Structure 1
Amino acid sequence: MKPKVTAPSKEVISTTKNIIDKYGVNTVCYSSKCPNISECFARGTATFMILGNICTRNCRFCGVNKGKPQKINEAEPEKVANAIKEMKLKYVIITSVDRDDLEDFGSIHWHRTIEKIKEINLETKIEALTPDFRGDIEALSLLATSSADKLAHNIETVKRLHKKLKPKSSYELSLKILEFYSKYKITKSSLIVGFGEDFEEIEKTLIDLQNAGVSQITIGQYLRPSPHHYPVKKYYSHEEFKILEKLAYSIGFEAVASGELVRSSYYADKL
């Protein structure tokens, strides 16, 4: 059964939305059509998406716009940092679209944003949910040695379906990136189910992630953003998500969030 989502309340989200609009920053809450927008905005939290809202890749399940990306906004790091200060956030997630059009894949802008957030919000914890930067070691090193408190990169799906759903990405490269990150900081990844994977494939993916040094994992249901996106093959029950949660803990993960509406940034501060 498809999970039901409470419609966003204008009263509930207005304060957070006004601050976001004031600084002209992007959030993944809007761009990816996240089902938890009402709940997260009610808590005064948001996941900021830097480097524009147009991705250079074409993942078949993702609701973010694809095409020719915008020019980098050099003022964005300070705008994001000030928005976080005004929202009084103690824990923030920074993510971005893929910028394969840039020589450094956007990594320098990433680093500037993280450092500016820390400069203006000294006590705020930062989780950096990054793209793969095409595996560029200089780009990855900039993130690994930044002031981010946690590093994350999403595997998204099992090996068999990876190329079908993420044609410009690599399952093996994602594991290598996570292994690199795990040598520096707490490392997290996310798995989406409902694409047609089986239980054994999920288990193998969780084992691969754990072997790569990932200590935190989120597991959530795929919800089709539009009729043009990849179809949902299966809706997992609440009980099945509980089974996956127990499996992940048994494999060795230190923190697990598993549920119908769980997303990689959902209650990240508590995870």
Structure 2
Amino acid sequence: MNDMSAAPRPEPRRKPDWIRVKAPVSKGYHETRALMRELNLNTVCEEAACPNIGECWTKKHATVMILGDTCTRACAFCNVKTGMPGAVDPLEPEHVAAAAARLGLEHIVVTSVDRDDLPDGGAGQFVRVIEALRRETPATTIEILTPDFRGKMRAAVEAICAARPDVYNHNLETVPRLYPTIRPGARYYASLRLLEEVKAHDPLIFTKSGVMLGLGEARLEVHQVMDDMRSADVDFLTMGQYLQPTPKHAKVEEFVPPKTFEAYGAVARAKGFLQVASSPLTRSSYHAGEDFAQMRSAREARLNKLKGKS
């Protein structure tokens, strides 16, 4: 009699050539890593096992992850560890600003773990980091990538918008049908409302969101997510290939070809997004500051438009 319980597990899908990257070995990579350790800073580049870490750190670009390295949620796609986080580091804002100054950053991306254990969800630390950056490196443009602040969203968004980041990013991650399995601790329409709230508080703050492809989504579902984002007046869109960080995470259903990403990008631009990044290796903060001249022009045009309405 065959023992069905001993059946081998299916092999994971083999990565195609277009998703492969070289291991990081450059001097710039090691210098960036050493600085992050010296200042006791976490980065999403490391914690989320980003495939672009070698390229970005060689250029001394890094996405700083505040509020610790432990998340209060356990999303099926994310490699950040889950558990009970430690206390918030009061020196963290100054350390982030020091890193931005020493790296000479023109643009910085600041994200965080989910901190459902904190009364404000961690919004106050985002505010303190923005304020420290404005003091230390006033020419640096600031992009934040926040969680959804479940149950605390309105107060959190109001406080952060008052600190005036240049870009407010919050990722929808996937299509609504897949939320129960991929993002069970979040709600699709709550995330959309957060992006709408940012614009309601300050129309001059650019909003940004992103989705992962390859989780089993259908083409028309992706188009609907784009429409939902534009209805919320989202300005910038990122689309990239989901990669399974460990065997316990959600599996890759498809490696989406580069031509499909190009087609999605063309659709997104036709729908009116000001900036679109769509490729297998695109991540939320990949090349985030490279088109900021274009963003400043768009901001000026928006300001003039608003003045004309007043």
TM-score (norm 2): 0.86
Q: Contact 2:25–2:54 (CA<8 Å) still a contact in 1?
A: yes
Alignment counterpart, residue 162 of structure 2, candidates 142, 145, 162: 145
| Higher-Rg member (1/2) | 2
> Match of 1:173, as an amino acid?
A
**Cross-structure match for 2:246:** 226
> Match of 1:233, as an amino acid?
E
Query: Which stretch has the larger CA shift, 36-45 or 6-15?
Result: 6-15
Q: Contact 2:26–2:58 (CA<8 Å) still a contact in 1?
A: no
**Cross-structure match for 1:165:** 182
Detail structure 1 runs of 4+ shifted over 4 Å in the superposition: none
**Cross-structure match for 1:39:** 55
**Cross-structure match for 1:115:** 131
**Cross-structure match for 2:150:** 134
Structure 2 residue 94 is the aligned partner of structure 1 residue 74: no
What is the deviation of 1:135? 4.9
Alignment counterpart, residue 181 of structure 1, candidates 198, 202, 212: 198
Structure 2 distance, partners of 1:61, 1:153, is 16
Q: Contact 1:188–1:216 (CA<8 Å) still a contact in 2?
A: yes
Q: Where do 5+ consecutive residues of structure 1 fail to align?
A: none
Q: Contact 1:135–1:173 (CA<8 Å) still a contact in 2?
A: no
Q: Where do 5+ consecutive residues of structure 2 fail to align?
A: 1-14, 292-310
| Structure 1 residue matching 2:150: 3-state secondary structure | helix
Structure 1 distance, partners of 2:75, 2:165, is 26
What per-residue deviation string (whole Å, max 9, x for no partner) do you get for residues 63-105 of structure 1? Answer: 1111111111111111111111111111000000000001111
CA RMSD of aligned residues (A): 1.0
TM-score (norm 1): 0.98
Q: Contact 1:118–1:147 (CA<8 Å) still a contact in 2?
A: no
Q: Contact 1:115–1:147 (CA<8 Å) still a contact in 2?
A: no
| Structure 2 residue matching 1:115: 3-state secondary structure | helix
> Match of 2:174, as an amino acid?
T
Structure 2 distance, partners of 1:161, 1:47, is 27
Structure 2 distance, partners of 1:5, 1:145, is 39
Aligned length: 271
What is the deviation of 1:182? 2.4
Q: Contact 1:135–1:177 (CA<8 Å) still a contact in 2?
A: no
**Cross-structure match for 2:43:** 27
**1:48–1:195: structure 2 CA closer, same or farther, 3 Å change rule?**
same
**Cross-structure match for 1:251:** 271
**1:21–1:127: structure 2 CA closer, same or farther, 3 Å change rule?**
same
Query: Which stretch has the larger CA shift, 43-52 or 4-13?
Result: 4-13
- Percent pairwise identity: 39
Q: Contact 1:58–1:66 (CA<8 Å) still a contact in 2?
A: yes
Structure 2 residue 257 is the aligned partner of structure 1 residue 237: yes
